[in-house]
């Protein structure tokens, strides 16, 4: 956020629930049982609703006509209309419980997942009917995934001890394909390509990792990528993500290694290893470190958050601080927690669980790296939806902004701890969220 930043009013919210509508016309704010729909330009309240309980989850429909609110603990879902406030719809999963609720891409259906992955329920709001998909795989990383045009839903299910992928048509919710992937030991994740033509299906096992690319055009697998055979440096498959253009596929291994595959040859084009030592080998690597402003803290024993600045440092080598693993999660492998491409697809920003205060920003076109080393653990990163501008948050009263020109830190005058944010679709404003507060910032001349 550059010099031209206009601060607006602070709102009380439940757990970061302050979201702009998809078309950018509205802002939804949820606090306790109250839902406010505001004009995104003037921030005047247009509608207000009372939910049946405390709102724990909120989501706009893709057409910005409706908003979904849910209380996961009580398994209650209600849908409200922006233009017809007298219309309301309430869904109750009953004894099956509720794990999550989300809109289908056509804004006509709600998909709810029951506790323990017992089933998916598809509630058609127009036809007032409900369909069910049974036998979801409990341990799958990504159990269900809509393709970008919203016409297909892929789901990982387990039948008689074998994992399969079922593909449903969303116009009638009838199964159209069942993919039995005998070459995979198990199915741990699925991901559609941006052009809707390819479905990635992968097994994460460190001993037998494999990635299948299934073509919906040819209706058959077109390639099988096995790291052990093709790229031995990659240990297992933790996660994958397409670039926005769909020309590259990023594959993350369990050994802090990321590789980029070309979608034509399916050969590795580039790689990034999250080395805990920043070396002198690449002289164009830039390192930005948060440190106390000596001019403000020369007579103090400790510096406050407002007295920290970010500056580029040039000494090498630099040893990245290793964080303590969460004691609650002793049995899992440390993973890449944040992993996002910029909208233009040129930059990849990521944070690994082992290095909670460090952010890698990889220029995949030049293979150059920027590092951001902060004092506090990084909680969220959010790319501007229209330009390569990244906001970084770390449980403090400052927001960090990365652009191609460098890194800036912006103190919050309201002294509010910021942990997450949600961009307006135009990239001209952003909702900055604390644990129970949110504020709207207007951003001018961002880059």
| Beta strand ranges found along 232-285 (DSSP E) | 239-242, 248-252, 257-262, 268-273, 277-278
Mean pLDDT of 237-254: 95
- Is the pLDDT reported for residue 8 higher than 90? no
Peptide bond before 164: cis, by omega within 30 degrees of 0? no
Query: Residue 344's closest CA among 200, 443, 247, 445?
Result: 247
- Residue 74 in domain: no
- Residue 351 in domain: yes
% of the chain at pLDDT higher than 70:
91
pLDDT band of 374, cuts 50, 70, 90: very high
Q: Which two tokens stand for residue 202?
A: 């992968």
Q: What is the pLDDT of residue 270?
A: 94
Global pTM reads 0.92
More reliable by pLDDT, 59 or 335: 59
Q: Which of 158-162, 171-175, 302-306 has the weakest average pLDDT?
A: 302-306
Q: What is the pLDDT of residue 2?
A: 47
Q: Classify each residue of 280-300 as buried b or exposed e, where b means 16 or more C-beta atoms within 10 Å of its C-beta.
A: eeeeeebbbbbebeeeeeeee
- Is the pLDDT reported for residue 17 higher than 90? yes
- Max Cα–Cα distance, the chain, nearest Å: 71
- Residue 70 in domain: no
Q: What is the pLDDT of residue 161?
A: 86
Mean pLDDT of 212-230: 90
pLDDT band of 325, cuts 50, 70, 90: low
Q: What is the pLDDT of residue 6?
A: 42
- Is the pLDDT reported for residue 64 higher than 80? yes
Q: Which two tokens stand for residue 74?
A: 């009580």
Query: Residue 14's closest CA among 30, 36, 27, 38?
Result: 30
Q: Which DSSP category does 346 fall into?
A: S
Mean pLDDT of 277-293: 87
Q: Which residue has the tokens 């790296």?
A: 369
Q: What is the pLDDT of residue 302?
A: 47
Distances in Å between the alpha carbon of 101 and those of 56, 79, 131, 287?
11, 11, 14, 41
Mean pLDDT of 255-264: 93
More reliable by pLDDT, 361 or 115: 361
Q: Which DSSP category does 379 fall into?
A: -
Q: What is the pLDDT of residue 351?
A: 97
Q: What is the mean pLDDT of the chain?
A: 89
- For 117-150, the pLDDT digits (tens) are 888 999 999 999 999 999 888 766 667 899 999 9
Mapping DSSP to helix (H, G, I), strand (E, B) and coil, where does residue 116 land? helix
Mean pLDDT of 251-278: 93
Query: Which region, left, alpha or beta, applies to residue 32 given φ > 0 means left and ψ of -120 to 50 means alpha?
Result: left
Distances in Å between the alpha carbon of 140 and those of 135, 216, 308, 338?
12, 22, 42, 19
Enumerate long-range contacts of 23-28, CB under 8 Å, 24 or more apart: 23/63, 23/64, 23/425, 24/424, 24/425, 24/426, 25/64, 26/60, 26/64, 26/82, 27/431, 27/440, 28/58, 28/60, 28/67
Distance CA 29, CA 122 (A): 26
- For 378-388, the pLDDT digits (tens) are 999 999 999 99
Distance CA 373, CA 375 (A): 7
- Residue 156 in domain: no
Please report, in angstroms and rounded to a whole number, the separation of the first and last CA atoms in the chain: 9
Query: Residue 273's closest CA among 289, 252, 243, 287?
Result: 252
- Residue 148 in domain: no
Query: Residue 84's closest CA among 104, 64, 65, 108?
Result: 65
- Is the pLDDT reported for residue 7 higher than 70? no
Sign, CA dihedral 418-421-427-428, equals: negative
- Residue 61 in domain: no
- Residue 244 in domain: no
Distances in Å between the alpha carbon of 205 and those of 165, 191, 353, 435?
18, 17, 19, 36
Distance CA 39, CA 8 (A): 14
- Residue 375 in domain: yes
Mean pLDDT of 238-251: 95
Burial of 244 from C-beta contacts in 10 A (0-12 / 13-18 / 19+) = middle
Number of domains in the chain: 1
pLDDT band of 3, cuts 50, 70, 90: very low
Q: Note down the domain range covering 391.
A: 275-429
- For 434-443, the pLDDT digits (tens) are 989 999 988 7
């Amino acid at each position: 956020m550059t010099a031209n930043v206009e601060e607006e009013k602070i709102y009380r919210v439940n757990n970061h629930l302050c979201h702009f509508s998809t078309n950018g016309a509205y802002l939804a704010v949820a606090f306790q049982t109250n839902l406010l729909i505001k004009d995104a330009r003037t921030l005047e309240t247009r509608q207000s609703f009372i939910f049946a309980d405390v709102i724990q989850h909120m989501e706009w429909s893709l057409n910005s006509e409706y908003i979904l609110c849910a209380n996961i603990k009580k398994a209650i879902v209600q849908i409200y209309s922006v233009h017809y406030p007298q219309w309301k719809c309430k869904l109750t999963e009953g004894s099956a419980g509720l794990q999550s609720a989300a809109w289908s891409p056509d804004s006509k259906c709600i998909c709810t997942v029951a506790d323990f992955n017992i089933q998916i329920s598809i509630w058609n709001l127009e036809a007032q009917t409900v369909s069910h998909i049974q036998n979801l795989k409990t341990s799958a990383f990504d159990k269900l995934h809509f393709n970008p045009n919203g016409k297909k839903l892929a789901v990982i299910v387990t039948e008689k001890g074998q994992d399969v992928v079922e593909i449903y048509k969303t116009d009638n919710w009838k199964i159209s394909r069942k993919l039995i992937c005998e070459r995979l030991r198990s199915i741990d994740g699925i991901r559609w390509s941006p052009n809707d033509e390819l479905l990635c299906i992968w097994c994460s096992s460190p001993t037998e990792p494999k990635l299948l690319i299934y073509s919906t055009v040819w209706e058959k697998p077109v390639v099988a990528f096995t790291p052990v055979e093709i790229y031995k440096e990659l240990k297992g498959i933790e996660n994958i993500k397409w670039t926005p253009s769909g020309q590259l596929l990023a594959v993350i291994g369990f050994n802090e290694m990321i590789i980029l595959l070309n979608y034509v040859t399916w050969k590795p084009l580039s790689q990034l290893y999250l080395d805990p030592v920043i070396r002198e080998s690449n002289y164009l690597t830039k390192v930005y470190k948060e440190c106390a402003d000596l001019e403000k803290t020369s007579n103090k024993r400790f510096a406050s958050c407002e007295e920290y600045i970010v500056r580029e440092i040039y000494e090498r080598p630099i040893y990245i601080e290793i964080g303590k693993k969460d004691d609650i999660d002793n049995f899992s492998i440390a993973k890449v927690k944040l992993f996002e491409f910029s909208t233009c697809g040129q930059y990849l920003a990521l944070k690994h669980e082992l290095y909670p205060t460090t952010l890698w920003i990889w220029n995949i076109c030049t293979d150059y790296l920027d590092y951001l080393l902060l004092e506090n653990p990084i909680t969220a990163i959010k790319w501007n939806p229209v330009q390569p501008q990244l906001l970084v948050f770390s449980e403090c009263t400052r927001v960090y902004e990365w652009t191609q020109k460098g890194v800036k830190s912006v103190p919050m005058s309201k002294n509010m701890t910021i942990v997450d944010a949600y961009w307006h679709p135009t990239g001209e404003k952003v909702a900055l969220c604390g644990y129970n507060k949110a504020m709207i910032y207007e951003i001018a001349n961002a880059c």
